[in-house]
Every structure is written in structure tokens, then in C-alpha cells.
Structure 1
Amino acid sequence: MLKLEKMVSGTGHVRAVFKRSGKSARIESLDMLITLDGGQSLQLTGALGELSNPSDVTLDTSIRLYSEANRPPPTKARRDLKLIGVDMQIIAQPDGIAHRRMVIETNGFVLDTRGEGPPPISFSEISRTPEGHLRIGKLVLRIGPPEANFVVLEGSVEDVLQLEGIDIEGRLSMPMASLVTSALSQSSDALGHLTGGFRLSGNAHELSLSDLRAASQGTDLWSLKVSGAIENLLQFRDIALDIAVDVPSGAKLLSALKLDPIKTGPLAVTYQLSTLGSEWATEVTIAVAASQLGFNMKLDIDDPSQKIRGQIVSDLIRVRHLRDIIAAAMQLAKLNDLARAASQGNAPASPPHQSEDVIGPEPLVLKSPEQTDPADTEGTDGDAIAGASTSQPTGPFRNVTLQPLGQSILLSGIDLGVAIDLRKIEGVKGASHLTSDLEIKDQKARLGPLKFEYGGGHFNVSGAMNLKDAPDTLQLSGSMGGWNFGNIMQDLGFKKRASGTLYATFDVSGSHASTRDFLATLRGRATVSMKNGNIDSQLLDLAGLGVVPWLFSKEREAVVTIVCVRAPITISKGRLTTKQAVVETDRVQLVVLGNVDLKHQTLDIVGQPRRIGKPLSRSPWPFTAAGPIANPKIKVQDGPRRLRRSDGASTMPQKRKNCVPDILQLR
């Protein structure tokens, strides 16, 4: 009867009640279940109602392509995406407007839509062709919410059983918000809609998509245009796609997304993807005013080594444009951040008064009461559970396990080699250039070393990721120096005078999910130092450290000379700890121990100033600073403290070293 060309093996049953009365014909109590040996199944239950009334249908349809025992596991990668099943429900209503629901389940996401409207699938004009093929003259498939379908496919199929002779026109209308992130309300019209059309033609083995034209509508925040064709949609081969995005105001777009507005100015992005056989080529250009950045990459998908080669080039990048784009990108990254519970730590109590501390020859300089922080007792799983939000994103998409496309590419096992050539980086203090390379091989990524000079300072930094064993962790190492301390203080909003040349070395790692996560999970070591500096004495007063005129300088002078600063830092779980940080003037050595918690934005430090070369003397006005970083409580201790070495050392060497705690130099 069906004239199938292949054997179908399985079991099934069909049960229904057919009633005819005069001109009325009805099918009730429909119960159908077909299960194939491969695990696929089709189940229909319900009633077709009055056969002359197509809206008088109440029907549950369940299509399963896998048995429960053979379901594909959840996937993060698009190449492993599989359709698991489709459930459809239509409930007839007296007014003729049916309630319907459609659930498309894959192992990477679930699309769940419901409401009032026509059925998701309808067909008519069924006939037998002269060649004996089963033909559907009018087929309509609706995907998305009933009141506002994302995609509507309408056309004909010349041979239904063999899926030959497909000729379908497609209409597209999707909320732009759903293209940005599932975290946004997908019914929001703030970002407009992407509307357009395309055509599908061919058969089950070679289906082509042509005449693709789509553009954004209903918004002046941005514009998106898409055009192109795909000769083989099922295998995603022979592609020609062009995408253009224009953003008149980055600040307005970020505000609409409920993010901090960054004044990027106009932004334009063009993307071109073309393939010929197995060879892929893509070009991307990002332009902000006169600044422009171009990417081009090539890949042969049939090459078993999966090699991607490309370039990142620019003839001109202005630093302020680059800074704004990075800041905007960091804001956009927040769209997929999990909500984290804000926790406020209590300021630790001041250390009890002691007349004398015993110091051994080990690197420990000062002793303070142990502070127990809840973060120290939290395990990795606990942090993840505490920081995760259990709420599902609004809209029809749920159970999404697919990774963002960029992350998916990084984890695909490719061999990537990209040369970076930024020929001119221009800022208010001159120009520079940067050359480097990005390499991914054997599931290990390496960026750098990035070397460039600007404004008297220099950077030399390398990044690395182990995409197999620790794909969420970014490692950074290198050095930087020559940066003006005074300029940094001005950028932070301090109007008082300060100067000095800053240097740093570091070897750290942390989660790259967001800047917040990176700071909260940061671990490793770093050393910060400064030389040839000075600071306005009023800044010391503001910090509570200038209470005694001669503490840092001989007299209460307008400017205090800073001979050097050196702070070796150990970092764990976002907490910066130092045990022998030193700030020296020509008269005083200030030794600091304690920690700064980047995760909870708090600090807890103890400082003891002493005259140069007098580490065992009493410290006048030792102090503590504790509480929120933005507004710590600074308290000067009531009494002096005296130190001694546990090994009895008490004599300074003839030639002391700057910015090394004097107590560690004793002999």
C-alpha cells in the first residue's frame, strides 16, 4: 500500500471508533502506537471529531527517534546535536480556535511553545502522482509560539515517502533578543525582530537553501542584515553568507540590555563566510570610527588534522576605542553570567595589644590573629552551588546545554594558528605596535608573548589554556613596568600629587567566564614594586598615616619621598596575601602583612612603621585597616610593639638592602 523501498520492522497497534450518522462522520477514541526495532516510535491519542471540520481535532502526537535506553547524552557541541523527539498537542475549542503545544527536544536544548493558534503541522491536497508517488500539494510547518511563529515553512513535496521533490518557501520572524542570549526575555521588543525569507528545495539527501534575505525591524538601536545561500544544508557545504551589523550608539544598546552604558560611539561589523567543497574561509571586520580590526581564517573540514590558519590585522587602532570596545564586551559577557549572592564580610576585630612579637628567620615578618573567612572553608562544588541561580530563563528555550559558539570552537580539538599584527596603536602619549600569535594544538591554547610599549611603559604577557583538562581556566604570566604611579592615581580620581615608576611580575590563573569570576578564582604569585616616587603628605593624612609629622618625613613637608615599594603577593581564591610588603622613605620602613579579598571586596591589613635600620625598636603608631575596600576602617593602635628574632639575630649588615624587611636582614 505504501510502496516503501526499504524494509520496516517493528510492532504496533491502531484502535479507533468510527461513527457515521447521516452526513456526519467522526473518529473517536483514537489510540495508535508504532514502535520500530531501532527504538523509534510514533504515538497518537485523541479524536479527529467531525471529519468535515478541520478545527474539530483533539490529538496528542509523540514522535521518538530514540528509545529511553538509547537516548543520546546532553551535548555542548553543535556537531553532536541530535533530534530526540517531537511532541504536539491540539485541543479543539467550541469557538474554532484550538489550543496547541509543540515541544521539540534535542540533546542540546528544548524548544517549548504553546498557546492559541493553528496546528504546528497541516497538510492538504494529497494525491497519487502518475508515477505512483504520494504527493502533498500544500504542507505548512510552524515553529515557535503560536501567536508569533519564529519560522513558517509552506510548500509542496512530490514524493512524501522518499522525501523527493521538496519545494518550500520559508518566512522568518524572530525576536532579536533570542539571537543575543536566552537570558533575555524573548518576548521583548526592545531589540526589534529579524524578519525575512528563504527557499528550500531538493530531497532528503541534498537540500539547498537559497534566496536568504533577512533584516532587523522595529528598532533603531542596531541594524542587522543577512543574505546568502547554502547549496547543501544537511551537510552545511558550499556556503555563501554575508552579515552586516551597525550600532549607532553602543551606550544606548547596552542600556536597552540593562547593562552599564559604555560610550563606544558608532560600531560596524561585517562578516563573510564562504565555502567550496570542504574548504572554509571567513573574514570579519570591526570598525569604530577610524579604528579597524580585521580577522581572516581558513579551514579544510575534511583534513583529519583540523587545521585553522588565519590573521588578525589592523592598520590603526586608537587606544580609547580599544578600551571602550573591551569595556563594552565585558558588559555583554554579563548577559550569561550566573547571578551571584552578594555577601558582606564583617570587619575583623583589631589585634589585641602585645608588647613583644617573636619572629623567626622564616619569611614571616609580623604575626596577627588568624582570621577565619567562610570562603576558606568552601569547596569548589559549594562555590558553584552558592553562586548558581536556579531560575530558568524566560521564553520558549530551556534545558540549553550548548556552549557559546566561540567556546565550542575552542573545545573542538582544532589545530589553530593565528598571526596577530596590529601595525599602529595610537593614543594620547604616542603610538606603538603589537605582533604576536595565537596557537591551539593538542587541545592546549597559547597566546603570546604579547610585547608592546606605550607611554613609557611596557607589557610582556603570555596566556595559556588547557582545553582538555581545565577548559574554564586561563593562565597568565609575564611582566610589565615603566608605568607612572601619578597618572594611575589621577585615573583613580586622586587630585593630590604622586609619582613613581611601577613594575610587576606575575604568574596567575583563574576562571575566564567573566572578569568577576577571574578575580574571584584568581590564584598564583605576583610581585609589585615602585621606585623613584613621591606622594603628597595630605594623601598620608587621608589614609590615617600622617598623624605624626616625622613618621614618614623629617618635617611635615608637602611631599614625602618614596624610595621604593616592594610587595610579594600570594593569591588564592581571589585573596591577595602578603607577609613582607615594604614601603620605604628615606627615614622610615613600613612593613605590611594581611590580605585583600577581591571576591568579597574587603581588606584586612596590619602595618608597623619603624625607623630605617631599627627593626627591633618599638613601632610608633602601628595601625590596622579593615573592612570594605572602598571604605576601610583605619585604626591606630594604642601602644607600641617591639619585635625580636627567635634565633637571636640583632645586628644590621653594613650594607642594607632597600625594600627588604630590616628584621630579615639581621645577623
Structure 2
Amino acid sequence: MRGAEIVYGERQPRADRSEPTLFRLPSQITNSPVLRNLELSDVVLRYRDATDGWNETLRIHALELTTPEASGDTDIVFEATLNGTPLSVKGKVQRVDIAGNGYRARYELVLDFPGLSSRTSGTIDTSSRIAQVEGKTASVSESLQELSSSFGIVSQLDGHATLDYAYKGPLDQLVIDGLQALFAVSNGDQIDVSGGIENSTGNPVVDLDFKAELADLDPDRDNLFAVQVTELSGNVSGSLNELSIDRAQIRTTAAVLNFDDIGPISVGRIVRHPDDRVGLENITIQAGPEDDPHVLLNGQMEDALGLKGISLDGIYRFPLDQVLGFDAGAKPELGVLEGEVSMNEAAGRLGIADLSGEIVETTLLDLGYDLSMPELRTVDELSFTTTLGIPEPARLLNALDVATDRAFPAIGFDGASTLSPKGVGLTGKLTSGETDLEADIRLHQGDEKGSRFLGGAVTSDRMDFADLASLIDFAQLGFDDDAGDFELSEDFKKTLAAQIDLDVKEIVTGANKAGNLSATAQYADHLLQLSKLSVNYIGGTVRGDFALNMTSEPGTASANGRMEKFPLKRLMTELGLSSPISSTVYSSFKVQGSAASGQAFLKSLSGSVTTSLWGGVLPGRLLELSGMSAFTWMVTGNDNNTTKLVCAVLPLKFKNGTATTSSMIVETANVQIVGAGSLSFRTGALNLSFLPRAKRKQLVAIVSPFELHGTINSPELVVKEGGAGRAIGEVASLPLNLIGHIFRGSGPVDEKAKPCVLPKNSTPK
């Protein structure tokens, strides 16, 4: 047979649903003795589809079937060109012996095509008009680009691939099973596909698992902030015009994203462009119910093989109860999340041009946002703005089945976050009740390669701790218990340095207010510091540097600074203690200790603390009696039975939780008392000695040294040289000095003496 031309047009469905003639040929050729030796040449098969741009030509140069008399096999030789590219198939099929083996025969075929080598073998049963086959195929492509070129298709995709599968069934309804395909792309991507295809030669229904491991397209990129998509996986199932993607997962260097169901996905047309690229048009992607889909995208792909020229636009609409894991329709009061999305591939990058949305149909919260992400595979440019308002947080919690009867202040946020090669940025304003916090923070690459630096500022006009506590409580109630489990990796801690400036105009704590807080928070090499702290509180000021060294567990806390002009009674009240003394407190400190707990800090405290009190009064007058004669003590008293405090200086040196002092001074208008000794926060032991000295000159110097022993919680007072001896001495001297005491008191106080300064040779014995 020689010379024929057959032209096919766009495939039309057969009205009688009869099987195509092509599928009957294997039975006819194999069963007919006449066709055991056949030669066919110069046959041209053309496929024309002007609408979609297809114009394919298969020119058969030779098809030879040869069955030698002495052989039980028919040799097959097929030589052709597809669009000018040579194609050959060689092999053999066992001759059917109707009387012996029935209509079953073995076959083996080898296909060679530039860019593709394929081998298939199995058995064929020609007992019916449509032959049934069962076999296996193994294919190898050493160059995907060469293979595409052989089909006359332009593609920039290159690499190599293997394909293995088993097949079984009638030729017009062939079932493919055990499919294993591996594509190794030249850029380093690797794609694995496995599964099966029902009715592969009719209307295919696929069930394929896929996993794509994506290489870093720019390994030399000096950008710590690009989020790389490293893996795509999932399952594709359904007919070719209604595909769905299930169990989809996108793995990135930052997070793992799971998608339960995407689809159906349909393609209206597969077209061949004039430049020989294969494209997809009228792509439709939807998710959710057919009559009311949650996602509906429409678009096209200009280069299906190269995944180029992608453009998708559409809408999404999700009931918020489903987003939050409730049954559909269970919580209609939560509203609906709806918006628009636009994706395109420009300059070789597939990205989200715009993703905007809002929550509607609810009074529980207001939410609006807008996102752009120029590239999805490597997310190094991102802009996200959002506004959030929750007028009654308790109502929202109740709607989420979180029982609470407490009131929460309104919550709001208005801000933006960005991601670029320069780093990550966050700017915005958070409000909770009367509290507002404004942040402008940037995380970018540090001076050394691989390091990160967090810098910026946090400011507030008013910060109420009650509002912040309510915000934290709301977050803990509104999210799962595991939502708060967050821990920085060791690598991140090692490479991070930070410096955040803090500026708060007013801090509210209960009925009290603090103001003008300023500080710089710093972090580097496991050292967290709060430096240049300054804050006004209850009339006083605290300034200093504070640090937490986390190099080892449990860490070390340190403080170096000064407190000035604090009213003692108010300060003690704020600490939950009572103070009978009214005075003004100053203190300088340079200490460090364990950061495990407050008790651990005291028990390991080392350094120095010097506290001074100036002015005020002490209740009662017994303290002055320790350094004065009874008569002087009586005549220098006042009507309200108090003692005027001139000053007190309490210098303490700490080492491993034990404080020592050698020059503790308490001074009233009439008496100066000097103390020395130690107290231990580790054991609670107290061992202090005090020596009083009258500031007025007396004819008879009578003092009562005293000591404090025992423990801090249970001190014991011991008075030395007191009792009867002192009383006898004072009675004996009284007549001799009575007139002098009455008219001269006990002598003038030394006006030149500096308060709380020890005179020479007056240190404690």
C-alpha cells in the first residue's frame, strides 16, 4: 500500500458512541493472515485545528509487518517523521495461533524519538473487536528541551525525566497503574509523580500524588529575609476538565501551609501559539459548593510547559465560622470574609499583584486588609496593610464559644508590614481601651554576614497596665493553648542584635501614674539590656542601666543606677509594705544576681547599695534615749512625741547574698547612731551593732549601745550598758547639773558638723 493523505479536524463526539476505527486495527491486523506481511509507505496524517493553532503532520515513510514462515513472530518496523522530526518504532508481536493459544500473544516494542527512548512489552488479546492488552512501559528522556523541540514546541524547561507504569484493559479504556515519574529540571527542581489513570485512552480520570522539591534559584542571594518555597505536594484527581487538588501543602523556609481542597480546576482550551508555545486558556479554579463557591478564579497560562505568562483574577468569599473551624452555618453572626485576588507572572516571577478583603455582615469586628507579593516562589517583596477593630471583645469571645462574663476594653490596630531585601518592617498603632502603642520597627541584615539587626522605636502617649493585661487575657482566651508556644531558635538568638528606643509619656498603674519613661532596649550575644532608663514615679525619678545575661541558665540580672526624691511612705505602700517613717529616699545601686526568681536574686546578690533618707519624722522618742541622758531627753521633747529625722545613710556591700556595712548612720536632731555588721538573705541571719552619740555636749556622757541579732523576720534587740547602772549614774549626776541643764540645755549643737558624717574617732567599737 502506497500513497495516502488523511486529514483530521477538531475532534467531535461520535453520535453513535461507537469505538473509533483506530482501536480496532490491532485486532484486525493481528488476527488476519493476510496482514501478517504488510508494507505501507508514503502515508500522511494531518491534524488541523485553526481555532487553537494546532497544525500537526505525521508522515509515515514505512510500516512493515513481516512474518517469516518458520517464525512464530511478526516483526514490526515503523519509520516516520512528526513535524519533520524522525520517529521510529521497532519490535515484534507473537503470531496468533487460534487453534492453540487462542487470541493471546506477546509483544515487545521500542520507540526512539529525539529526546525520548521508550520500551513497552506485554500481552495482547485480540479475541474481541477492541483488543485488550496488559503490559509495562519504561521511558527515559535525557533532555526535556530536546523532547519539546521534537514535538515542535518551544519551551525553556530543560532537564531529564523517567516514566514507568503498568497498563491493562481494552485499548479504548486503558487503565494505567503504578505510575512513577521523576522530572529533574536543570535548575535543580525535582518533581515526583505517582498514581494511576482510569480510562487513559478515552476520557481520562487521574489520581496522582505529586511532590516538587524546589531549588534555591539564587543561592548567592545575600538576603536573610527572602522566604523560599522549598516544596509543593498534594494529590490531583478527577477528569481533565474538572481536576481537583487535595491535601495540598506548600513548605517554605518560614512555615508550612496546608490546603485541604482546591478545585475543580478546568481548562477550556489547549492552544498552540504562533511562536510554538503551548498555552492554556479559559482556566477556571474554584473551591467550595458549585452554586456558591468560596473561591472562583479565571485566567490563562501562555506557556504551560514553562509555567510562564500566568494571569488569574477572581474573588473569594468564606464564611468566617468555617475559616475558624466551626461547622458550616454554625456561627453566622461571625460574618463573612470576602475580597478580590489577582495573580500574574511578570518578568519571570509568579506573584500576587493584589489580595484585598474585609469581614462583612457582622457587628462583632471590623477587618480590612490589602496584600501584594510580586513573587511566590521566593517571597522577598511583600506589603501588607490591615485595620482591625473589636468594639466589644467579650461579645466576640462568646460568639467563639469562649465563656466569659468580664468586660474588655475595645481593641484596635491600624498598620502595615513590609518585606524586602532591606529587611522586615512593621509600623502601626495598637489600642486597647485608653492605651495606645505606636511602633516603627525594622529587622534587617547586620554589619556581619549572616547577622540580623532589629531596630526602631516604640512610643505611647498613655500606657495603662490594666488595658495591657486585658489585651493579654483576651489573646489567651481567644486562641488555643498551643498558640502561645513560641520559642526562638538558637541560631536566631546567636545572629540577632537589637536596639529599640522606648518613649512613654504616661504610665498608669492602678491609682498611680508614672511618666516620661525613656530607655533603649538592646540585645546582643544573649545579653538583654535596658540602658539609659529614666522614669518619673510617685514624685521620684529612677535612672540607670539594667541587664539580663542569658549566656547560661538561669541567667544573671544586673542593675546600675540611682533613685532620687522618692517619698518613703508612698514607696513602701507601692511595694505592699507599711512605713512608720516619713522621709525622702535616695539610693544608688550597682548589683547583680541570679535571674531565676526574686528569692534567687536576693540570695545571690553581689555589689553595693547605698540608701539615704533625708528629713521627716520618726514615731516615738526612744531612739534618742540611747544617746542622751534621761533629763536631756525629757527637756528636748516635743508635744507630738515624735523624733525629727535629720538623715540616714545605709551603705551596704553584698557578696553572694550577704550584706556587710561598717558605717551605717542614723541621725536625729539630738543623736547620731552609727551601725556596723551584716545580714544574710541566704540564711536570714542578722548581726548588727549600733553605737549612739549625743550631738549636744553633756557633763555626763551616757550612751546605750545596742545590737540586733536573730533573723531578718524575727530580730532580737539587745541593749548594752543599760538598765540600773545607767539610771544610778543619771540620778547621781542630776543635782550637780540641774541648773546647767535648765538654763543651758546640754550645750549647743555643733552647727558646722555635716549631717550623717562621722566625726573623727567615733566609729563603732
User: Superposed, which structure 2 residues align to 1:250-329 within 5 Å?
Assistant: 265-272=409-416, 284-287=428-431, 294-295=438-439, 317-318=461-462, 321-324=463-466, 327=469
CA contact (8 A) 1:263 1:324 kept: no
CA contact (8 A) 2:591 2:606 kept: yes
Unaligned residue ranges in structure 2 (runs of 5+): 1-146, 635-639, 694-703, 721-752
User: Superposed, which structure 2 residues align to 1:233-244 within 5 Å?
Assistant: 241-244=384-387
Name the SS of the counterpart of 1:489 in structure 2: helix
Alpha carbons of 1:400 and 1:122: their partners in 2 closer, same or farther (altered >3 Å)?
Answer: farther
- Match of residue 86 from structure 1: 232
Give the Cα separation in 1 of the matches to 2:172 and 2:507: 82
Q: Which amino acid aligns with 2:709?
A: P
Give the Cα separation in 2 of the matches to 1:254 and 1:508: 45
Alpha carbons of 1:249 and 1:232: their partners in 2 closer, same or farther (altered >3 Å)?
Answer: same
Name the SS of the counterpart of 2:415 in structure 1: strand
Give the C-alpha shift of residue 449 in structure 1: 2.9
- Match of residue 608 from structure 1: 687
Q: Which amino acid aligns with 2:561?
A: G
Give the Cα separation in 1 of the matches to 2:486 and 2:234: 18
Alpha carbons of 1:288 and 1:16: their partners in 2 closer, same or farther (altered >3 Å)?
Answer: closer
Name the SS of the counterpart of 1:161 in structure 2: coil
CA contact (8 A) 1:156 1:168 kept: no
Alpha carbons of 1:621 and 1:268: their partners in 2 closer, same or farther (altered >3 Å)?
Answer: same
Give the total of aligned pairs. 534
CA contact (8 A) 2:341 2:355 kept: yes
Give the Cα separation in 2 of the matches to 1:466 and 1:177: 45
| 1:458 counterpart (537, 541, 549) | 541
Give the C-alpha shift of residue 127 in structure 1: 0.6
Name the SS of the counterpart of 2:355 in structure 1: strand
Give the Cα separation in 2 of the matches to 1:612 and 1:178: 76
- Match of residue 165 from structure 1: 310
Alpha carbons of 1:104 and 1:300: their partners in 2 closer, same or farther (altered >3 Å)?
Answer: closer
Give the C-alpha shift of residue 21 in structure 1: 3.3
Give the Cα separation in 2 of the matches to 1:516 and 1:176: 45
Give the C-alpha shift of residue 215 in structure 1: 3.2
CA contact (8 A) 1:165 1:201 kept: yes
CA contact (8 A) 2:279 2:301 kept: yes
Name the SS of the counterpart of 2:386 in structure 1: strand
2:278 pairs with 1:134: yes
2:129 pairs with 1:42: no
Give the Cα separation in 1 of the matches to 2:405 and 2:676: 41
| 1:478 counterpart (552, 557, 561) | 561
Comparing both chains, which one has the higher relative contact order based on Cα–Cα distances under 8 Å and sequence gaps of 6 or more?
1
Alpha carbons of 1:607 and 1:491: their partners in 2 closer, same or farther (altered >3 Å)?
Answer: same
Q: Which amino acid aligns with 2:691?
A: I
Alpha carbons of 1:656 and 1:515: their partners in 2 closer, same or farther (altered >3 Å)?
Answer: same
2:159 pairs with 1:9: yes
Moved more, 128-137 or 432-441: 432-441
Give the C-alpha shift of residue 486 in structure 1: 1.7
Identity of aligned residues (%): 15
CA contact (8 A) 2:184 2:190 kept: yes
Q: TM-score, normalised by structure 1?
A: 0.55
- Match of residue 609 from structure 2: 527
Name the SS of the counterpart of 2:179 in structure 1: strand
- Which of 1 and 2 has greater Rg? 2
Unaligned residue ranges in structure 1 (runs of 5+): 144-148, 336-391, 539-545, 596-602, 626-633, 643-654
- Match of residue 345 from structure 2: 202
Alpha carbons of 1:292 and 1:666: their partners in 2 closer, same or farther (altered >3 Å)?
Answer: same
- Match of residue 254 from structure 2: 108
Moved more, 209-218 or 38-47: 209-218
User: Superposed, which structure 2 residues align to 1:132-531 within 5 Å?
Assistant: 132-136=276-280, 137-138=282-283, 140=285, 155-162=299-306, 163-169=308-314, 171=316, 196-203=339-346, 205-207=348-350, 209-216=352-359, 223-227=366-370, 229=372, 241-248=384-391, 265-272=409-416, 284-287=428-431, 294-295=438-439, 317-318=461-462, 321-324=463-466, 327=469, 433=516, 449-462=532-545, 477-494=560-577, 497-506=580-589, 525=607, 527=609, 529-531=611-613
Name the SS of the counterpart of 1:488 in structure 2: helix
2:214 pairs with 1:65: yes
Deviation digits for residues 356-379 of structure 1 (CA, Å, limit 9, x no counterpart) = xxxxxxxxxxxxxxxxxxxxxxxx
Alpha carbons of 1:434 and 1:125: their partners in 2 closer, same or farther (altered >3 Å)?
Answer: same
Give the C-alpha shift of residue 125 in structure 1: 3.5
Q: Which amino acid aligns with 1:48?
A: I
Q: Which amino acid aligns with 2:567?
A: N
Give the C-alpha shift of residue 510 in structure 1: 9.7
CA contact (8 A) 2:548 2:558 kept: yes
Q: Which amino acid aligns with 1:527?
A: V
Deviation digits for residues 540-593 of structure 1 (CA, Å, limit 9, x no counterpart) = xxxxxx9x9x999999x9989886474647598xxx654559796876958553
Q: Which amino acid aligns with 2:465?
A: R
Alpha carbons of 1:99 and 1:269: their partners in 2 closer, same or farther (altered >3 Å)?
Answer: closer
Report the aligned-residue RMSD: 7.1
Deviation digits for residues 243-284 of structure 1 (CA, Å, limit 9, x no counterpart) = 223243678889999999998733433214689998999753
Give the C-alpha shift of residue 483 in structure 1: 2.0
User: Superposed, which structure 2 residues align to 1:539-558 within 5 Å?
Assistant: none
Alpha carbons of 1:90 and 1:293: their partners in 2 closer, same or farther (altered >3 Å)?
Answer: closer
Name the SS of the counterpart of 2:685 in structure 1: strand
Moved more, 495-504 or 529-538: 529-538
Give the C-alpha shift of residue 435 in structure 1: 6.5
- Match of residue 27 from structure 1: 176
CA contact (8 A) 2:522 2:530 kept: yes
Name the SS of the counterpart of 2:305 in structure 1: coil
Q: Which amino acid aligns with 1:483?
A: F
CA contact (8 A) 1:109 1:398 kept: no
